[in-house]
Amino acid sequence: MHKQHPENEQQFGYFDDQKCEYVITNPHTPTPWINYLGNDGFYGLISNTGGGYCFYRDPKFRRLTRYRYNSVPVDNGGRYFYLKSEGQTWSATGRPVHTELDQYSCHHGMGYSRFKASKNAISSQLTSFIPLNTKAEVHQLELKNDGDTTKAVELFSFIEWCLWNAEDDGANFQRNLSTGEVEVEGSTIYHKTEYRERRNHYAFYSVNHPIDGFETDRETFLGPYRGFENPIAVERGKTANSVARGWSPIASHHIKCELAPGESKTLVFVLGYCEVEATNKWQAPNIINKQPAQTLQAQFDTSEKVTAELLKLKNYWQNLLGKFVVKSPDERFDRALNIWNQYQNMVTFNLSRSASFYESGIGRGMGFRDSNQDTIGFAHMVPEKVKERILDLSSTQKTDGSAYHQYQPLTKKGNANIGGNFNDDPMWMVLSTANYIKETGDFSILDEMVIYDGQEQATHNHFDHLERAFNHVVNNLGPHGLPLIGRADWNDCLNLNCFSEDPNESYQTTQRGASDVAESVMIAGQFVLYGQEFVEICQRIGKNELASKCQTHVDQMRSSVEQHGWDGEWYIRAYDANGDKVGSNDNAEGKIFIESQGFCAMAGIGSEQGKPLQAMNSVEKHLSSDFGIMLNQPAFTRYSKYLGEISSYPPGYKENAGIFCHNNPWITISEAMLGRPEKAFEYYSKITPAFLQDVQKLHKTEPYVYSQMIAGNDSANPGEAKNSWLTGTAAWNYYAATQYILGIRPDYDGLLIDPCILPSWKSVAITREFRGANYQIELRNPSGLKKGKVELTIDGVKVAGNLIDPKRFGAKHTVVAEIVA
């Protein structure tokens, strides 16, 4: 493990587990540390200083507010509240005004963020959240005079409208600078750009208080050549009541108030989205139908209503997080699993890889591979949403069993613009479906009728989609009987059929020649693992003849890997388009890769000969580092067109020997399956944020959620992270910790108890809701065994085997699972 630096433990903030919050105490975090608001179609990203944006369903086509990626200074654009008193101006969120606050904290919680600030004896508390089932952000701002004299305070709110299409918004200036339109009525500013033509939706920003002025034109508010840190309207203390016509529309309210000593005032701002019927767009000529907006505003026009909605949100999350609760000897482990990992699982489930501070929300939609994997960390929380998502994914599948790599959330249509022909995609749906059935016992998902690739009528059921996914692998094998890699597999950057020498080409969409030679050992391991799962599904629904036929293909693949995918000490990674090995001791660079070690070991390929154990030993020897397991070693130092994008990264970053956290849990699971709890826990904890609090400054990204990538040993800054929040690491590390370290594993017939906990953990308590039952489980390991037989006692009565049958044990039960030799 890395060296501990306890003096850095709370350099920027700390966990408040009681409130399920991370409290940031310094506005100058190494990168913007964000939170997500909303979970039902309307979403917001909000940083620890109020930056970010919101959107409805699709961050590309329905973005409400503007944000600037790669801006200087960073984190430009957001929900800003300027406060002015006694000639001094500051921000209620720490930015964008540079004035240093007397006190600052940001409390990121479950679906809300709360900002506390004080300056010159004026304190403010801003609570930002998206209420359940609501298409609006609510921002409740409380101002209080903590001094002993009356104080005059001026408040200026600010948001900047995005012109709906976020890609076009940042490119088509010749049009956009002439299209902006707004309306102002009372204390509400309406954004209606393009509403006259092809849109039947508008946005609004309101406050539940009379205003002393407003601005809707950005240049009028900021002043020419000024930034967000010193708007001329705030400096002058006066607004011009501008009405934007073209240029850059904004929304800013100006409110003056006087606060006596000890007096407080609470204001509620609502940033909302409304859709209307095409036949009911106008309440008068060129005056938008404001009734939906007024109805929405009325739901939050008092602080009492806002408090009630916050309580509903709190109860919602308490219920969700209560479905799986662990109490172990390590509070960091508990914190990760009980709070932040489950929270991140919800976010990744909702947004796939589409909208973060590293994903612009423009180029990517919902990933087929990504979203199928994200369900494995979320199925226990809201299984009905998981079922819906799996069927959405299924409906984008192509008739040959292959899959679009992504689809757009607004249209649910497949999209190949950023690439396709990634041959690992189809089998991930077998994982998500099997995991859903094991969690719920609901085999009916297999009977759901689902269209293919945008067809108008569904003529096949979901099971047919799984069968075609299975057969897509069978029908696309290479010279060694291994699956063809296509443009790539799980590693998008291993492009064995691209051969690109043109910097203007996309690695993800470029292909030269037929892809009938390059093969993936990783997909082979995936096929054995999930192909065996498909065989069992066939058997359980009575398709025994098909099961037997599919078993033959799985067995053949297992044999092909043993014959052509083993390199003596580890599994090779692939064969390139010339038929040469990749990830072999024969190679000068990239001798060993993590992906094939994880999947082939999880599939147990060559277990009779001890190959999974040997592969794990090779992972420890060659790939393990202080901050996690590197993707490959040695790093590539030269570009090779036969390898593609992986060799374009500097050594130690991203796929080129970086610690690509998503695949680390595959090794954790493999180690647990081998009965090596110390190694499993070591690999789990090396990348889990709750264990990394002493390296916040080095790590840079949010210390409460997983990042996609941590720089590896070959980099300039080993341990530095990038691409936080939207990563498959969240679901996979949760899956690894709960189902393989703790061993609380759903299966078709019930809940298996098969732990691989640290020998020093003599007792672990777990609450697990499962198929309508509630189990209070205690894992006991009195002899400190690494792995052993499990003896079950339910309600004081011994039960044969290690499976809890929910048909026998519904309702609530006390379970003791003792590990014995």
Q: Catalytic residue positions?
A: 492
- The tokens for 299 are 């739901």
Under 8 Å CB-to-CB from 213, ≥6 apart: which residues?
238, 239, 240, 241, 254
Per DSSP, 720 falls in state -
Task: Tell me how many degrees the CA angle 258-263-267 measures, rounded to the nearest 5.
Answer: 70
Burial class (CB in 10 A: 0-12, 13-18, 19+), 209: middle
For 107, the enclosing helix (H) or strand (E) is strand 103-108
Q: What is the rounded distance in angstroms from the CA atom of residue 323 to the CA atom of residue 346?
A: 13
Task: Outline where 623-772 has alpha helix (H).
Answer: 664-673, 677-687, 696-699, 729-736
Tokens encoding 604: 């147990």
Token digits for 343?
A: 């929270």
Structure token digits, residue 687: 């990348």
Report, in angstroms and rounded to the nearest whole number, the Rg of the chain calculated over CA atoms.
Answer: 28
Peptide bond into 612 cis (omega under 30): no
Q: Which helix (H) or strand (E) holds 274?
A: strand 264-275
Q: Nearest Cα to 699, choosing from 798, 629, 628?
A: 628
Measured CA to CA, the distance from residue 135 to residue 270 in angstroms comes to: 10
In sign, the C-alpha dihedral spanning 631, 632, 637, 643 is negative
Indicate the SS3 state at residue 240.
coil
| H helix intervals, 97-200 | 166-169, 173-176
The letter for the amino acid at 293 is: A
Query: Whose CA is closest to 48, among 82, 79, 18?
Result: 79
Question: Which helix (H) or strand (E) covers residue 217, if one does?
Answer: strand 213-217
Three-class SS state of 486: strand
Burial of 90 (0-12, 13-18, 19+ CB in 10 A): buried
CA-to-CA dists, residue 628 to 8, 598, 698, 814, angstroms = 20, 14, 14, 37
DSSP letter at 705 equals: S
- Could you tell me if 251 and 157 are in contact, meaning their C-beta atoms sit under 8 angstroms apart? yes
Residue 709: helix, strand or coil by DSSP? strand
Mapping DSSP onto H, E and C, the string for 299-368 reads: CCCCHHHHHHHHHHHHHHHHHHHCCEEEECCCHHHHHHHHHHHHHHHHHHHHHCCCECCCCECCCCCEEH
Instruction: List, in sequence order, the alpha helices (H) in 103-251.
Output: 166-169, 173-176, 218-222, 232-236
DSSP label at residue 728: T
The two tokens of residue 249 are: 């529309």
- For the CA atoms of 423, 424, 430, 431, the dihedral, rounded to the nearest 10 degrees, stands at -170
Q: Which amino acid is at 560?
A: S
Residue type, 16: D
> What is the distance between the alpha carbons of residues 167 and 121, in angstroms, rounded to a whole number?
43
Q: What angle do CA 296, 301, 305 make, to 5 degrees?
A: 95
